[in-house]
Chains A and B, each alone.
Chain A
Amino acid sequence: MADGRDTESILQITPEWLASLGYAELAPAQSLVVMRRAYSALERMVGTLLVQEIRSDELDEFEAYVGTSNDAAAMEFVRQNAPDYAEVVRMAFNSLEDALRSAAQHYLQSSSEVDREIN
């Protein structure tokens, strides 16, 4: 990473991560669908949270970096104007984990109840 953080500090969206939340039964392709959707939602959530910290005219500057594909400048802009971005990502990530874990538990519980009723 650009700031030299080791890879262990990077949040990982992997099949193992998904399995730890209660989705071990999913087929590999199904896991990929969920992971992609999760990552996309995470991006949007982080954007939603960070944009509240930045003024509109500053965002114009950011858009100029993005428009010219200047990734380094765009990243530097984020570090300067939203220094807590990593914490925001982690907070959103944890929240997403909770939502997914809860959904898996609820689904499995509902399925068990249905099975019991059938049997």
Chain B
Amino acid sequence: MNHDCPDWAGRSLTITALSAWNRTIAEEILARFRQYAVEFSGSSTSTKRLSGLGQEARVVSVWGPKGTGKSSIVGAVQECLLNEADHPFVVVGPIQPEFFGPADNLLSVVLAELRRELIRTLAEEESPSVSSDEARRIIAAIEGAELTVAVSQATLPLLANAAATVDEFGRQIQRVAGATGGLWRRLAEATTQVAEAYGWIAILVDDPDLAPYQTLSTFRDIRNLATLPGVALLVAGNREMTRPALAPSSDLEIDGSGGAPDSRRWPSVGAELLAAETKVFPLSGSFSTSPPPWEERKAFVKLGRSESIEELLRQCAPYTPSDRNLLLNSLTAHSPLSAGYPLPERFRSLAQLWDQLDNMRQRPPTDLATSVDPSLTMSYLCNALFAHICPPRGARPIALSWGPVIETPSGRRRRVSCKFLSLNSGVTADSGFRDQVVLESSDNDNAVHLRLRSAQQVGSACFWAREEDFPRAAFKSDAAEDDMAAVLAIQEILYDSKLFDVGDEEALAGGFRPPSMAFLQVVRFEGQETDDHLVTLPTVKTWSGIAPAAQAWNGIVERWRDQGLSCVEVLALTLGAAHALANRDGFEAATASLDYRGALGILESYITTLEGSDDQLTLGQQELVNWYIGSVPAHWHSSIFGEEDIDLFTTNWNRVAKNWTSNASSSRRYRKWTLGQRLSSSLEDARDAGRALKLAWLGGYEQVVDRLAIKVPALPFSRVCRAWRDRVRMRHLGTVATRDAAAPPEENTGPESDAVPMTQPSEGADLLSSAPAPAADSEEARDGLMQAALLAIDQWQASADDF
């Protein structure tokens, strides 16, 4: 059905301004009101006046948490009712009991509003449908009812003290009806006259549960008003807030007493409470709102306006540098891998953000380098985003402090201090793709199990994961994905807008870190297991960088599995991906070059270009430089590259990196997960000979450590170097001798890389995806048999000392 409203105040308003689900609700509510009006107009006057307290309340209710669009529904319904042609309505409200004072009550406010509305109609109508005498009689009837209500006010608190439920109140008020001078008879007569003369009375009440002094009396008035002839109510509220007020307990809120609800009984819902609730809010007219999905958030249009948030963001492009629309990227980046998005899911927050963007686009900055306005306006936007992050969560920015505009080497910037820390002690802002199944089976395990899967396998399950260094107890399990997305979006806006002087990058949240991106769970050099941080991508610290980084990573994994790439080829792909992502270009793993030297050369040229640029680096570019300096040297292990290659790589590194290590953070080479830090921390544990032997593979970095002047503990490193050299010679000897006596397996029966053999069952299964698909149980048995063989080989190898 089409409920578009006709032109109103010069604008064409339609109910389509609501989200899809809420629009459906609004249309249904309109249909109910029309039905009421039709039934009323078809009944006799005597029948109309037979309404009483025993009749089912005509209350249509909309329920939902705050910000889910309840008020927008009420507003949309109001506009359509005001413009209803076939069945005119007298619309009262929306009334907001939230703003009532101690002496206010819903009944008095409704009558006063109704009288004012009729007087206004009487004054404005050029050809009145009701004679002036008739109108005055109706208004006088309402005034009489108002007077009666005022007289009865002294009695109502007494009644309320005696009756905590509507049901009980109804019985008691019958006893005092005579004393209140025929209150409900007068009301019934008045509303009947109004409905017959002007149209059905629609009373709109928003958030009655937030009435600070008289929640229960408000519900009672709703119930009683809704049984009057010619009257129907639309009420929007939060059911969880409503129930405590209706609960049959003397220690709950009573008119004027201001008592606090007893939270110990929530959310238990007894039969008596349900009965009271359904008496005020009949189930047949009860609807529930739903938070908007991602696409609806982007398409959000403020009621009565026409542009979506996405369109406003597009129009705010002048606030962002160069040819990129930073705001659009950082706030609307859509990841099919994730359930978290920067735009808030509450309609009220969306409306406020809409206002902020609308204000921003009205004043596009003309000169970003010298104008103060852009940073001020952008500060407001960040505050608006910041405000909708709801504590307590796993992580959120604790503080955004806006400082003065200062002169910096990059021009005038507004100083800002932002501490992206956790509300919960010990929890940092980190993220990654978690395998839900693995997590569910490891409740008692403090380690975070991150296992990268393809987009199809992951589905929509992207979660924010806690830092693995911290205990599970410190992690709030219901942390909202949206919060982290907003944190990263604010972070991105602050940095990449080039309007702010943010300070030390270390104060910022982590984003993706190498462990969450490490898919080669076990990397072996010469048969020795290493750590799994050899193959990495730069840390992703921006929201709009997460999806492309994850997709690039998945692409590398898929190609590696499909084509059985060598370790060097995988590393070449990571170089290409890192370059593309920092430059915000798309990365196609399936067609990217596998030439390591070529990819490294391109990356180094790009970093050299960045160094010579006058522009401030984006956050992504900073992370690329950090990664190149700190982590790429981990590729240059002597079992992967020859001496000449490593000599070339380290020479170039010294040329490219020297301009960055001096004027930037000194931690670039020793940040967590960089080669320098990892070598140092590993060697600290390698003081005894046995441990040094186990970590012998670290000795394969001897040439890199020497050429890059990486600081490592000298004695332990000399031990692992010696052990590594012995191991390499031993291996060479074994290779030569074995080759002469035993034939190696043929190469043409399937993909596998010696450099990175698979040992995890599930990964092994993925690797072997090219094999004919056996039945499920058979496949499981084969996997088990293969694992048994691999384990036996490992154990046999470890028993070398027994010979």
Contacts and interface: CB of A to CB of B under 8 A. Distances in A.
A24 B712 CA distance: 49
Interface stretch (B451-459, B585-593, B727-735): B727-735
Contacts of B179: none
A89 B741 contact: yes
Nearest to A3: B740
A52 B478 CA distance: 59
Nearest to A30: B786
B752 interface: yes
Interface in B701-757: 726, 729-738, 740-746, 749-752, 754, 757
A27 B772 contact: yes
B800 interface: yes
Given A34-B790, A37-B793, A44 B745 contact: no
A82 B796 CA distance: 23
B735 A36 contact: no
Contact of A13 (B733, B743, B751, B754): B743
A19 to B, nearest CB: 12
Interface in B745-803: 745-746, 749-752, 754, 757-758, 764, 767-768, 770-772, 774, 778, 781-786, 788-797, 800, 803
A30 B782 CA distance: 8
A78 B451 CA distance: 44
A67 to B, nearest CB: 9
Contacts of A62: 729, 732-733
Interface string B415-449: 00000000000000000000000000000000000
B527 interface: yes
A48 B797 CA distance: 10
Nearest to B732: A66
Interface in A1-42: 1-2, 10-15, 23, 25-42
Given A30-B768, A100-B793, A47 B735 contact: yes
A63 B729 contact: yes
Contact of A93 (B742, B764, B768, B786): B742
B733 A78 contact: yes
Contacts of A104: 785, 788-789
Contact of B745 (A1, A14, A111): A14
From B749, B778, B783, residue with most partner A Cβ within 10 Å:
B749
Contacts of A108: 785
Interface in B513-548: 526-527
A29 B785 contact: no
Nearest to B528: A44
B791 A103 contact: yes
Nearest to A31: B749
Interface residues of B, number: 53
Nearest to A88: B737
A103 B735 CA distance: 25
A100 B792 contact: yes
Nearest to B731: A47
B640 to A, nearest CB: 16
Nearest to B789: A34
B742 A26 contact: no
A29 B751 contact: yes
A47 B734 contact: yes
A51 B745 contact: no
Interface string A75-110: 100100010011011101101100110111011100
Given A29-B768, A99-B795, A100-B792, A36 B734 contact: no
A26 B740 contact: no
Contacts of B767: 29, 33
Contacts of B737: 46-47, 50, 78, 82, 85, 88-89
Given A26-B785, A39-B744, A51-B729, A33 B797 contact: no
From B754, B767, B792, residue with most partner A Cβ within 10 Å:
B792
Contacts of B772: 27
A88 B734 CA distance: 10
B781 A33 contact: no
Contacts of A82: 733, 737
Contacts of A49: 800, 803
Given A46-B737, A89-B738, A39 B745 contact: yes
B741 A37 contact: no
A106 B695 CA distance: 32
Contact of A28 (B771, B790, B791): B771
Contacts of A92: 803
A95 B792 CA distance: 11
B209 to A, nearest CB: 55
B764 A74 contact: no
Contacts of B782: 25-27, 30
A97 to B, nearest CB: 10
B749 A89 contact: no
A13 B741 CA distance: 11
A89 B742 contact: yes
Contact of B790 (A11, A37, A50, A89): A37
B734 A45 contact: yes
Interface in B182-213: none
Contacts of B800: 44-45, 48-49
Interface string B550-594: 000000000000000000000000000000000000000000000
Contact of A107 (B526, B749, B785, B796): B785
B258 to A, nearest CB: 65
Contacts of A40: 527, 754
Nearest to B527: A44
B786 A1 contact: no
B742 to A, nearest CB: 4
A43 interface: yes
Interface string A49-78: 111001000010011001000010011001
Given A41-B793, A62-B729, A33 B786 contact: yes
Nearest to A86: B741
Contact of A46 (B738, B746, B764, B785): B738
A73 to B, nearest CB: 10
Contacts of A28: 749-750, 771
Given A11-B743, A36-B757, A85-B740, A107 B784 contact: yes
Nearest to A11: B742
A106 B792 CA distance: 11
A1 B743 CA distance: 11
Contacts of A25: 778, 781-782, 785
A1 B764 CA distance: 35
B181 to A, nearest CB: 82
A30 B787 CA distance: 10
Nearest to B769: A29
Contacts of A95: 796, 803
Given A26-B786, A29-B750, A89-B741, A43 B792 contact: no
Nearest to A77: B736
Given A10-B741, A11-B743, A35-B745, A29 B789 contact: no
A47 B728 CA distance: 9
A107 B757 contact: no
B422 to A, nearest CB: 43
Contacts of B743: 10-13
A9 B159 CA distance: 107
A88 B752 CA distance: 28
Nearest to B737: A85
Contacts of A30: 764, 768, 771, 782-783, 785-786
B788 A106 contact: yes
Given A78-B740, A82-B733, A103-B788, 20 more contacts: A13-B742, A27-B782, A29-B767, A30-B768, A30-B771, A31-B749, A33-B764, A36-B752, A41-B794, A42-B734, A45-B803, A46-B734, A51-B730, A75-B740, A85-B737, A86-B741, A90-B741, A93-B742, A99-B792, A107-B788
24 contacts: A25-B782, A26-B785, A26-B789, A27-B771, A32-B745, A34-B790, A41-B793, A42-B738, A42-B742, A43-B731, A45-B797, A48-B734, A50-B733, A51-B726, A54-B733, A62-B733, A63-B732, A78-B740, A85-B737, A86-B741, A90-B741, A92-B803, A99-B795, A111-B784
